[in-house]
C-alpha cells in the first residue's frame, strides 16, 4: 500500500492550490512614451518594444467631418488619398505596399482622419517616401471618385433597409442635432453633389496646412527620427487647430417609434442620453457602473433581457466617447412583439441601481473584469501607444491612466448608487424603436 505523501518542490506544496489573487490587487504600469519633434514642429510619440521586427505608424490629421463645409467631403478625401498621385496610379500604390508585405489603411472620424501603416521594420525606408507622396501629392482622379460615389450610394441603399443602421443614425440626430458633426449623416444626395474640387480644397487646408500628430510603436529602427524628419519634417503644417464650436440642437421630443421595414421581424432599440467627457471626474467611476449595468456579458441587462426573458441575443450599454461631447447608449435588437417590454426592463434595471446598493461580491467581479481588460490592453507596444494616443488627442493629464485605474479600484457601492441616481434617470434618456 502506497501512502499519500505531500509533494514539495522548492518550498511549493503541489497538493495545495495557490492562492487566487484578484485582478484589483495588481499594480498596473503603463510604459511611458518617447516624444520627438520634427523640424516643422510635428510631434511624434513613440513606444519601443515587442518580440517581432514589426512596426505600426499612424499619421493623425485634424481633418474629420467636424471641419468639412459639406457632408461627405472629409470621408471621401481620406478614402481617396491613396488612390493616385501625379506619379503613381491607385494600382501601383497598392502593389508597392503589397510587395513589401505591409498594410496601409485610412479612417475618418469626427475630429480626426488617420493614415495607418503596418510593416516589417526593415522595410520602413522603402515605404515612408510613398506615404509622404500620398500626403503631399494626391490627385483624386475623377474616375476613382466616381467609383467611390457609386459604391457609397449602393452601400447606403442596402443599409437603409436595416433597422439597426437607421436607428444608429436617428439616435445621434436626436442627441446632437442634424447639423452637428456627431448627428449628421450621409444621404444619396450627399454623393450626387460631391465633386473633386471640394476634395482638393479640403486636402490642401487640413492635410497640407492642418495639424498632424504621428504615433509609432514596435521595434523601431535606430534612425527613425532621421527618416521621419526627412519625409515629413518639411510639411507646411500648423501646430494649432481652429477652435470649433458646434452648438447642440437636441430634439425636443424624447420618445420615437419609426416604421422602416413592415415585413421585418425584429426592431432596433436605442436608449441614450448626453453624458460627460473623459475629463470629468465622474467618467472613470461611471465605467464601473456602466459595465455592471450593460457593459459586459455578465451585466444586469444581459442577465435579465437575454438570459431570463429571452428577448434578444445581446444587449449592451456603452459610452459614445467623442472628444467634445459624449453620451450613454443602450443598444439592442429584439423581436417586434417584445420591443416595448424590452424598454421597460431597461428602465427597471436602472431603477434597481438607483434604489439598491450593489453587493460587494458583484462589484468585485466587475472591478476584476475591468482591470483584467486593462491588463490585456497593456500587452504589446501597439496597445500601449493606443492608450497614449487617447491621452494626447483628448488633451488629458499625463496621470490619466493611473487616476482612472485608482477610480475603478476604489469606487464604492454607495458612490455607484449616487451615480445611478444622477445619470440613470429615465426622463433624461431619448428612446427610439425602429421596426
The verdict on residue 407 lying in a domain is yes
Whether 6 is in a domain gets the answer no
Residue 7 has pLDDT above 60, yes or no: no
271, 215: one domain:
no
- Are 26 and 33 in contact, with CB atoms under 8 Å apart? no
- Of the given ranges (145-159, 236-250, 326-340, 386-400), which has the lowest mean pLDDT? 236-250
Q: Which domain holds residue 404?
A: 255-434
Per DSSP, the residues of 110-162 read SS-EEEEEEEEGGGHHHHHHHHHHHHH-B---HHHHHHHHHHHHHHHHHHTT-
Same structural domain, 218 and 269: no
Domain membership flag for residue 28:
no
According to DSSP, residue 247 is labeled -
C-alpha cell at 432: 427610439
The CATH number linked to 317 is: 3.30.830.10
Same domain, 60 and 189: yes
Looking at the structure, do residues 293 and 396 belong to the same domain, yes or no? yes
Name the least confident of 2-6, 42-46, 357-361, 395-399: 2-6
Q: Which tens digit of pLDDT belongs to each residue from 358-395?
A: 999 999 999 999 999 999 888 899 999 999 999 999 99
In a shared domain, residues 199 and 274: no
pLDDT value, residue 245: 80
Residues 146-179: tens digit of each pLDDT: 999 999 999 999 999 999 999 999 999 999 999 9
Residues 225 and 273 occupy one common structural domain: no
Average pLDDT over residues 20-35: 87
Domain final residue, candidates 217, 232, 247: 232
Q: Do residues 189 and 288 share a domain?
A: no
| 350 & 389 share domain | yes
- Please check whether residues 197 and 286 belong to one and the same domain: no
Question: 92 lies in a domain?
Answer: yes
Total tally of structural domains belonging to the chain: 2
Share of residues in the chain with pLDDT > 70 (%): 97
| Cβ atoms of residues 287 and 370 within 8 Å | yes
Both 210 and 296 in one domain: the answer is no
Do 324 and 410 share a domain, yes or no?
Answer: yes
C-alpha to C-alpha distance for 431 and 254, rounded to whole angstroms: 6
**What's the average model confidence in pLDDT over 230-246?**
85
pLDDT bucket at 266, cuts 50 / 70 / 90:
very high
Mean pLDDT of 27-47: 95
Among candidate residues 232, 265, 288, the one where a domain is terminated: 232
Residues 6+ apart with CB under 8 A from 203: 77, 81, 138, 140
Cβ atoms 170, 259 nearer than 8 A: no
* Whether pLDDT at 111 is above 60: yes
Residue 243 lies in a domain: no
The verdict on residue 240 lying in a domain is: no
- The grid coordinates listed for 218 are 514596435
CB atoms within 10 A of CB 402: 14
Please check the confidence at residue 104 and state whether its pLDDT lies above 70. Answer: yes
Does residue 149 lie within any of the structural domains?
A: yes
**Same domain (yes/no): 180, 277:** no
- pLDDT for residue 365: 96
Whether 213 is in a domain gets the answer yes
d(CA 73, CA 136): 18
Share the mean pLDDT of the chain. 94
Q: Is the pLDDT of residue 403 over 80?
A: yes
4 has a pLDDT exceeding 70: no
Amino acid at each position: 500500500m502506497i501512502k499519500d505523501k505531500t509533494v514539495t518542490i522548492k518550498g511549493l506544496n503541489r497538493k495545495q492550490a495557490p492562492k487566487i489573487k484578484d485582478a484589483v490587487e495588481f499594480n498596473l504600469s503603463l510604459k511611458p512614451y518617447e516624444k520627438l519633434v520634427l523640424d516643422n514642429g510635428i510631434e511624434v510619440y513613440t513606444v519601443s518594444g515587442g518580440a517581432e521586427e514589426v512596426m505600426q505608424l499612424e499619421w493623425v490629421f485634424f481633418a474629420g467631418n467636424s471641419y468639412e463645409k459639406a457632408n461627405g467631403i472629409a470621408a471621401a478625401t481620406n478614402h481617396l488619398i491613396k488612390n493616385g498621385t501625379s506619379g503613381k496610379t491607385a494600382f501601383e500604390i497598392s502593389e508597392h505596399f503589397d510587395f513589401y508585405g505591409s498594410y496601409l489603411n485610412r479612417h475618418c472620424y469626427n475630429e480626426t482622419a488617420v493614415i495607418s501603416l503596418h510593416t516589417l521594420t526593415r522595410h520602413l525606408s522603402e515605404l515612408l517616401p510613398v506615404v509622404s507622396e500620398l500626403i503631399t501629392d494626391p490627385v483624386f482622379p475623377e474616375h476613382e471618385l466616381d467609383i467611390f460615389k457609386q459604391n457609397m450610394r449602393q452601400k447606403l441603399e442596402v443599409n437603409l433597409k436595416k433597422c439597426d443602421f437607421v436607428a444608429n443614425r436617428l439616435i445621434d440626430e436626436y442627441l446632437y442635432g442634424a447639423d452637428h458633426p456627431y448627428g449628421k449623416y450621409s444621404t444619396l444626395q450627399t454623393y450626387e453633389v460631391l465633386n473633386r474640387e471640394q476634395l482638393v480644397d479640403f486636402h490642401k487646408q487640413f492635410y497640407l496646412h492642418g495639424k498632424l500628430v504621428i504615433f509609432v510603436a514596435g521595434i523601431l529602427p535606430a534612425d527613425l527620427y532621421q527618416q521621419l524628419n526627412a519625409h515629413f519634417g518639411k510639411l507646411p503644417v500648423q501646430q494649432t487647430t481652429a477652435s470649433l464650436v458646434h452648438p447642440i440642437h437636441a430634439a425636443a421630443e424624447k420618445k420615437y417609434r419609426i416604421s422602416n421595414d413592415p415585413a421585418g421581424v425584429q426592431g432596433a432599440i436605442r436608449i441614450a442620453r448626453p453624458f460627460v467627457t473623459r475629463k470629468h471626474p465622474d467618467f472613470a467611476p461611471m465605467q464601473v457602473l456602466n459595465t455592471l449595468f450593460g457593459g459586459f456579458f455578465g451585466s444586469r441587462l444581459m442577465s435579465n433581457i437575454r438570459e431570463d426573458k429571452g428577448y434578444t441575443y445581446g444587449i449592451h450599454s456603452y459610452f459614445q466617447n467623442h472628444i467634445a461631447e459624449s453620451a450613454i447608449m443602450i443598444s439592442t435588437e429584439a423581436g417586434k412583439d417584445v420591443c416595448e417590454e424590452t424598454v421597460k426592463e431597461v428602465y427597471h434595471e436602472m431603477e434597481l441601481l438607483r434604489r439598491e446598493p450593489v453587493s460587494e461580491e458583484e462589484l468585485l467581479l466587475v472591478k476584476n473584469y475591468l482591470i483584467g481588460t486593462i491588463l490585456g490592453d497593456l500587452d504589446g507596444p501597439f496597445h500601449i501607444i493606443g492608450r497614449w494616443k487617447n491621452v494626447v488627442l483628448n488633451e488629458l493629464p499625463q496621470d490619466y491612466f493611473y487616476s482612472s485605474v485608482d477610480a475603478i479600484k476604489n469606487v464604492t457601492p454607495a458612490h455607484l448608487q449616487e451615480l445611478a441616481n444622477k445619470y440613470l434617470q429615465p426622463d433624461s434618456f431619448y428612446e427610439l424603436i425602429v421596426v
